[in-house]
Amino acid sequence: MKSYRVVWTKPKVVKVEEWEVPEVSGRQVLVRTRLSLISPGTERAWLLHLPNTPATFPQYPGYCAVGEVLEVGEQVKQFKKGNRVAWAGRHAAHAVVNEDALLPIPPDLPDEEAVFFRLIAIALQGVRKARIELGESVVVLGAGVIGLLALQLAKLSGGFPVIAVDLSEVRLKFAHEVGVNFVLRPDEDLNARISELTEGGAHVVIEATGNPEAIPLAFKLARRMGRVILLGSTRGETKSVDFYTDVHRKGLLIVGAHDSVRPQFDSAPGFWTARDDQALALKLLSAHRIKVAPLITHKFSGMEALKAYDLLLSNDMSTLGILLDWSSVETHTA
């Protein structure tokens, strides 16, 4: 069967190509994609070939996808034709996925919300590593998609107050929509305002911008014996850290929270597998414990992926969740 998928042939060059979908066998499942979600920070960085991104092209991007089971291999036990599923999939109209990589979608959960499941899980592993206790103050630097999800998860974990910091007034409005306690811009009064709102500095600061220059600020905003969680994938380096004053003497705990640093098989306190966190993300969405609908700003046909990435590359701060709709893309057999 012929289908379509997004490919980056070189930096800044996006195409939709035809490809041959392989036959399923064993524990494999053929799924028809309904929606895929662009991960704006990571995909923009990779497409621009920023520091700390892969150097090889072509690349077949994608983070989160939802769709419907079309066919199952002879050994598949968990799914059948017609089931609605989510997976960490590429931007493509079809995919062949091992059944262990699929998650069932709750029947009452819209595709447009379910497709955020993996980005929620990425934010969640960072929030878990912060070990937030009820009543601890939390500051999140960056109100992009990951930051807005981390803010909500910090609040669910007992953080109070939960404070969003961003340069963009547009993104701070999104933070208001998802229910944070305070929103602030990083101006010259930021340290004083954070100290006032948190009674001496934040217990937890989550850096979610990916900008290396935000890391020294995160150290300054944390209180003595506070925790700084590096959730954003940092693109570049900084040399402007006063480690003695802002880290060593304050006794800060700094945690690198990349999504790849997870247990493979069994979850433990503060340290869950990707599958367990992704399954929980779908449950939280179904229970209306986390909001993602306000984060959806654009929707394109999968065949219009070039328009979606042009928008992403423009770095418009009003752009957050970009969906690619594959449901009406026609495919054909060879």
Residue-level pLDDT at 88: 95
Structural domain boundaries in the chain: 2-116+292-325, 119-256
List C-alpha distances in Å: 172 to 178, 192, 309. 10, 19, 23
Would the pLDDT of 333 be above 80?
no
- pLDDT bracket for residue 68 (50, 70, 90): very high
> Mean pLDDT throughout 228-241?
88
Q: What is the CATH number of domain 2-116+292-325?
A: 3.90.180.10
Q: Residue 202 and residue 194: Cα distance in Å, rounded?
A: 7
**What's the mean pLDDT when you consider all of the chain?**
95
Is the Cβ–Cβ distance between 125 and 262 less than 8 Å? yes
Would the pLDDT of 83 be above 70?
yes
- Whole-prediction pTM: 0.95
- pLDDT bracket for residue 309 (50, 70, 90): very high
Residue-level pLDDT at 142: 96
Is the Cα dihedral 302, 305, 307, 308 positive or negative?
positive
| Spatial CB neighbours of 52, under 8 Å, sequence gap ≥ 6 | 45, 233, 234, 235, 236
Tokens 């306000």 locate to: 294
Q: Residue 267 and residue 280: Cα distance in Å, rounded?
A: 12
Would the pLDDT of 315 be above 90?
no
Q: Residue 265 and residue 212: Cα distance in Å, rounded?
A: 32
Residue-level pLDDT at 329: 86
Q: Residue 269 and residue 88: Cα distance in Å, rounded?
A: 24
> Mean pLDDT throughout 258-282?
94
User: 106-121, pLDDT tens digit by residue?
Assistant: 999 999 999 999 999 9
Would the pLDDT of 290 be above 80?
yes
Would the pLDDT of 332 be above 80?
no
List, in sequence order, every residue forming a beta bridge with 205; answer none if it has no partner.
139, 228
Residue-level pLDDT at 330: 76
Residue-level pLDDT at 316: 86
- Assess if CATH 3.20.20.100 describes domain 119-256: no
- pLDDT bracket for residue 225 (50, 70, 90): very high
